[in-house]
Structure 1
Amino acid sequence: MIHKRSLVRRSAVVVASGAAALALAACGGDDGNPATGHGGHTAGASATASASASQGQHNAADTAFAKGMIPHHRQAVEMAGLAPGRAQSAAVKKLAADIEKAQAPEIRMLSGWLTSWGEQVPAEGADGHSMHGADAMEGMGGMMTGEEMTELGNASGRAFDTAFMELMIKHHEGAVEMARTEQADGAYAPAKKMAGDIIASQSAEIARMRVLLGKD
């Protein structure tokens, strides 16, 4: 009798141990599989990685935006650089400073994107300034011609103020158009965000210049 009772106890222990092992295996399986909903940390990491990968993707529209906006911004910065020594209006000088402050960092950011994508950053003109003229204007609305840049550089006082604002309105309108194309066709999230910032800031500056010119 004592021997039979011992066998019964051993059997019960084996059964209980087996059940416990199965339960632990089941829990471990759920925790390791994000699809089950129990592996929360794994699922969260996957979602973060996916989001990062999505932000890193770019397409031809993003590349075209960066390659077009760099020379476009360079020319705006070049135009703004003429204002301190030629403008008469303090408002025009402030506007030029704001343009340079906003667009110079964007040039660096756009150049960094192109480099990271294995693309060539547009070269500056042989004179060390932004490229302008008929060839550079293709696909970049609002770019000044060489003659317009020369005339602006030769102007001063009120004549400079008027010419600067009229040309910069045209220049900004081209940038806004390019930015809208990027928002519609681009895939790279930071580039689309920059495009939105350009639309907002340059549209506001267009409005400022129209007021100063007495057109609104």
Structure 2
Amino acid sequence: MRRRLVAVALVIPFLLGACGSPAAQPPPVSTSDTTVAEITAGDEYNDTDVMFLQMFVHHQRQALQMTATAVKRAQDPELKTLAQAVQVTESDELKMIEGWLKSWGKSTEVDTAPNLHAHHGGLPGTGPAEIEALTTVKEAEFDTAFLSLFLAHQHNAMELANLVRTGGKNAETKAFGERVRASRQGGIQQMLKLMTK
């Protein structure tokens, strides 16, 4: 399915029952047979499109690390299910955006030096030490520790999406930013609900 990543992303807000006001809906899912990896972004882009995608690659890799730990260590079965859904969605997104960068002849890596990103709000605030701490936190404290860290991480994804929504030139990249905002908003609602169980 051409927009499999969108379909999976839409599952997240409903896995545990939506709460609060509904998130804005992303564009309709296509029913063609094109896979996520085959979605092309075209040749028209600017520096903001490139910067956003490079930063988002870094962000997605961190998310996959965190959710891999949650799949193994989460005590709440609903949290484990949510982490698995996030992994599927964000793995697909990662493949897609890495493909776009490569098609433009751009690196899929980003320089993480803080001073290079100060003018646009900086890189996402999750650090390697915080991610590593999820592997050693006491079992009984894992769910709360993960939710606290991942809530902030997904909020950062929405902030990153604002960069391309306001300054990007590429239509697919801007549409992806819109989908990120919708899916992460839903995920955040679900995590907040889990924290109050």
TM-score normalised by length of structure 1: 0.65
- Which secondary structure state, in structure 2, belongs to the residue aligned with residue 153 of structure 1? coil
Name the residue aligned to 1:107.
Answer: 94
Task: Give, in whole Å, the separation in 2 of the partners of 1:98 and 1:163.
Answer: 19
| Equivalent in 126, 140, 146 of residue 123 of structure 2 | 140
Give, in angstroms, the shift of residue 182 of structure 1. 0.7
Query: Which structure is richer in relative contact order (CA contacts within 8 A, separation 6 or more)?
Result: 2
Identity %: 29
Aligned structure 1 segments of 4 or more residues deviating by more than 4 angstroms: 131-138
Structure in which a larger fraction of residues adopt helix: 1
Name the residue aligned to 2:67.
Answer: 80
Cα deviations by residue, 1:52-87 (Å, 9 ceiling, x for unpaired)? xx9531001100011000010000011000112211
How many aligned residue pairs are there? 154
Give, in angstroms, the shift of residue 94 of structure 1. 1.0
**One-letter amino acid of the structure 1 residue matched with residue 84 of structure 2:** A
| Equivalent in 157, 181, 192 of residue 210 of structure 1 | 192
Give, in angstroms, the shift of residue 122 of structure 1. 1.0
| Equivalent in 99, 102, 108 of residue 121 of structure 1 | 108
Task: Give, in whole Å, the separation in 2 of the partners of 1:146 and 1:133.
Answer: 14
**One-letter amino acid of the structure 2 residue matched with residue 154 of structure 1:** T
Name the residue aligned to 2:137.
Answer: 155
Name the residue aligned to 2:14.
Answer: none
Does the 8 A contact of 1:132 with 1:145 survive in 2?
no
Does the 8 A contact of 1:179 with 1:198 survive in 2?
yes
Q: Are 1:65 and 2:29 an aligned pair?
A: no
Q: Are 1:174 and 2:156 an aligned pair?
A: yes
Task: Give, in whole Å, the separation in 2 of the partners of 1:104 and 1:140.
Answer: 20
Name the residue aligned to 2:165.
Answer: 183
Task: Give, in whole Å, the separation in 1 of the partners of 2:165 and 2:188.
Answer: 20
- Which secondary structure state, in structure 1, belongs to the residue aligned with residue 169 of structure 2? coil
Task: Give, in whole Å, the separation in 2 of the partners of 1:91 and 1:173.
Answer: 20
Root-mean-square deviation (CA, aligned residues, Å) is 2.5
**One-letter amino acid of the structure 2 residue matched with residue 74 of structure 1:** R
Counterparts in 2 of 1:210 and 1:153: CA distance versus 1, 3 Å: same
Counterparts in 2 of 1:188 and 1:97: CA distance versus 1, 3 Å: same
Task: Give, in whole Å, the separation in 1 of the partners of 2:97 and 2:161.
Answer: 13
Structure 1, unmatched stretches of 5+, are 1-53, 124-130
Does the 8 A contact of 1:89 with 1:158 survive in 2?
no
Give, in angstroms, the shift of residue 98 of structure 1. 1.2
Q: Which has the larger radius of gyration?
A: 1
- Which secondary structure state, in structure 2, belongs to the residue aligned with residue 78 of structure 1? helix
Does the 8 A contact of 1:133 with 1:146 survive in 2?
no
Name the residue aligned to 1:51.
Answer: none
Name the residue aligned to 1:91.
Answer: 78
Structure 2, unmatched stretches of 5+, are 1-40
Task: Give, in whole Å, the separation in 1 of the partners of 2:87 and 2:46.
Answer: 28
